[in-house]
Structure 1
Amino acid sequence: MQSFQGTPLPTKRRRRGWVTATGGITALLTMAALFVHWNTNFLGEQEFCDGIVSSTEMSSVLDGAGRISTVSSLGKVTPAFACRVERTSRFLGKESTEIHISTGVHEPDFPFQTRVWKDPSAMSFFSNGTTGAVSGERGWVLLPEVCWTKVGTTQLAQVLPRSGEVTTLDAVIENGTVDRQALAKMLAAAAHRIAERAGCGVGGPVETPRLQPVKTAPTTAGAVCGLPGFTLPRKALIDGEATLGTEQTSGRASDTWACGMHLSGSAQAVIWFSTTSDPRLVGPALLGDKNFRDIADGAGKVNRSRSTAALTCGAEKVFFSMRWSDEYSDATRDDVIQVSRAMFQGFIDSAGKRHGCPAVKLASS
């Protein structure tokens, strides 16, 4: 009788096959788990910026596939803070997007006169409750005035505003754009938490900001920026370099409004005009600016070096601002001072009528 010593071999092969299959399944499960970890927020951070921003709010802003995580955070022991948060992914072909959120200290006319905020006419201003504005790349919210002596900006330590400066919560997006409404909602809620944590909150629920639309249209001679009677001085336009083109407007005249004139021609110049009657912006910090000079008839104050003015118009104070790009200064050359004075006077004359402001004559020097 023959003996078959090889009969156990099939059982060993099955065992090795089972082990190989199990190893393959484990590898697939591991890769799947890593893919979920790299490209979703499953079991991710529940809050950001030391509790100032919730996971839900951050996910709404940094929307899309990817993992949201903290890059850095400063200010755990002071009301002022700065943090960086990024959304990254792998194997999806998406570039990382980062948001930098921080408390900031600014001069009160910063939304209209500083290069940091670039183009006020591209910002969607808030029209209810909170004072602020957002675009797809950046945003700001003004903290309550009672917070300006308690919350500042953070470096190695907190730096509080000086007299005449204000405190804001700022956000800047790097390498991408975000939904404006989501950014506005997050900033309003975060500013509320900062104020409460600093003991300067004003109470009440956080109201979701309503955003004013941004509109673009051709510029009409004799009604620049939609202001009837507003005509640019003759020397303000240069054939072939800077002529009437298109204008972008944001906000509403009864609150905060901005217009950006994008001139046609080789200079690619831009001129910005802005007004606001928001008492949070046209308040003691602005009106106490030592660079403002009284207008002769007592109707308000003017700062000629910055092309800004604040007029008393009935029961409200109205702030007027004009600014232009370096390309416009280069195009107008030696006439820039004369042109700017005439243009600012014409702007106040026309825009002031919308607010019932008195007619004023700005000094020629």
Structure 2
Amino acid sequence: MTNESRRAGLARKVAAPFLAVAVLATGAHLWWNTNVFGPADVCGGLVPTDAAQAVFSASGRVSDRDGLADRSGDQLDFTCTVENTSLVPGSDTGRIRVSGSRERGDFPFTDDGRWPGPASMAFFSGGATGAVGADHGWVLLPDACTTSDGPAIIEGYAPQGSDPMQLTRLLTEVADNAAERADCAAGLHLTAPDRLPAAAEQRRVGNAAVCGVKGLEFPGVPERRAEATEKVQDGTGATWSCEVTKRATYAVTQEPHIVAGIRSSPGYTEQPHTAGHQLSGFDKHHVVADCGGTPTYFSLEFDEAYTSEVDAPDTPSTQDLFTNFIDAAGKQFGCSAAS
């Protein structure tokens, strides 16, 4: 054997352990710091790992912690936490909490502390119906999933700063899978929107029309109007909302799946006529009217700045504000008082 052959053989023997270590290190990196070779889905098959990974801002291993937790005999009542972990120094564990539940149909518009104000959400409809805001969103399941307990939704909380579009896509896929699992998809395939409406921006009310609605009264002492601010959504979609900061939140929707869920919910019943309209709903400030043949939901929620002024002589009463709301905003949605 020549000297060159001996040296080549020695080099191979020396290199082999280093190559093996490199292969192991690469494999360990792929296993612990990425989702390569990982499962295609977690949470009992409801959450696609690719869609979940897109929500997290950093790469890592996607898992479902303790797995899917069914909370009752209802297959659409569940919760699951998806985690994104990595051994890269300085990395944090990311978490997405996904759940299924049944809600009163007008849940996006009621102030129970769980839901962000509707004026802060981007509503979408078409291939799927839902809304997404800062790190929180929901998607409505098909109408066939609604029972006497109300409509079913998929809700998700994502890490702070997550991309709302990626969260929307994830929740839509989970909703689609959940409907299939519960055998209520009714042949429908939910699809996420191509884009989301622009977020509403804060602005001063001043002398302009309140919420951009001609004739809408200011919810409070008139002298406070000049210093008040509001957040108003674009009024071209099926759902519109305006929040007069810390005073009142107005919402209107003609989105058919949301309205169907409202009308199918427990507690939905006939309400007193207002502004010439025959109404049904849950109470006198959360109602559905017939607007030119289109069922239209109106909601008005009051906040601390208004309630602190409600007894002042020039402050409109809650019912006067609601009557004015249906009359003024209703005109933009094809509502006219019954003759």
TM band (smaller chain):
0.7 to 0.9
Match of 1:7 in 2: none
Q: Is the 8 A contact 1:84 1:100 kept in 2?
A: yes
How far apart are residue 283 of structure 1 and its match?
2.6
Q: Give the % identical residues.
A: 28
Match of 2:3 in 1: none
Whose Rg is larger? Answer: 1
How far apart are residue 249 of structure 1 and its match?
3.0
2:125 maps to amino acid = S
Report SS of the residue matched to 1:351.
Answer: helix
Distance 1:335 1:281 in 2: 37
Q: Is the 8 A contact 2:271 2:283 kept in 1?
A: no
- C-alpha distance after superposition, 1:314-346 (max 9, x if no partner): 120111111133x32563364599543232222
Q: 1:35 to 1:357 in 2, by over 3 A?
A: same
Alignment gaps of 5+ in structure 2: 1-9
Match of 1:230 in 2: 216
- The count of residues paired between Structure 1 and Structure 2 equals 320
Q: How does 1:264-303 map to 2 (within 5 A)?
A: 269-283=246-260, 285-286=262-263, 289-290=267-268, 292-295=270-273, 299-301=277-279
Q: 1:92 to 1:323 in 2, by over 3 A?
A: farther
Match of 2:6 in 1: none
Q: Is the 8 A contact 1:322 1:344 kept in 2?
A: yes
Distance 1:245 1:39 in 2: 49
Q: How does 1:1-365 map to 2 (within 5 A)?
A: 33-72=27-66, 73-75=68-70, 79-80=75-76, 81-114=78-111, 115-149=113-147, 162=149, 165-173=150-158, 175-209=159-193, 210-220=195-205, 221-233=207-219, 235=221, 238=224, 244-250=227-233, 252-262=235-245, 269-283=246-260, 285-286=262-263, 289-290=267-268, 292-295=270-273, 299-301=277-279, 307-325=285-303, 327-328=304-305, 331-332=308-309, 334=311, 339-359=317-337
Report SS of the residue matched to 1:116.
Answer: coil
Alignment gaps of 5+ in structure 1: 1-14, 150-160, 263-268, 361-365
Distance 1:137 1:191 in 2: 17
Match of 2:7 in 1: none
Cα-Cα RMSD:
3.4
Q: 1:128 to 1:303 in 2, by over 3 A?
A: closer
How far apart are residue 205 of structure 1 and its match?
4.1
How far apart are residue 66 of structure 1 and its match?
2.2
Distance 1:71 1:130 in 2: 28
Q: Is the 8 A contact 2:275 2:323 kept in 1?
A: no
TM-score (norm 2): 0.80
- C-alpha distance after superposition, 1:153-198 (max 9, x if no partner): xxxxxxxx52xx221111122x423212222222222222222222
Q: Is the 8 A contact 1:214 1:249 kept in 2?
A: no
Moved more, 60-69 or 270-279: 60-69
Q: 1:318 to 1:236 in 2, by over 3 A?
A: farther
Report SS of the residue matched to 1:280.
Answer: helix
How far apart are residue 226 of structure 1 and its match?
1.6
1:116 maps to amino acid = R
Q: 1:356 to 1:253 in 2, by over 3 A?
A: same
Distance 1:129 1:49 in 2: 24
Q: Is the 8 A contact 1:79 1:197 kept in 2?
A: yes
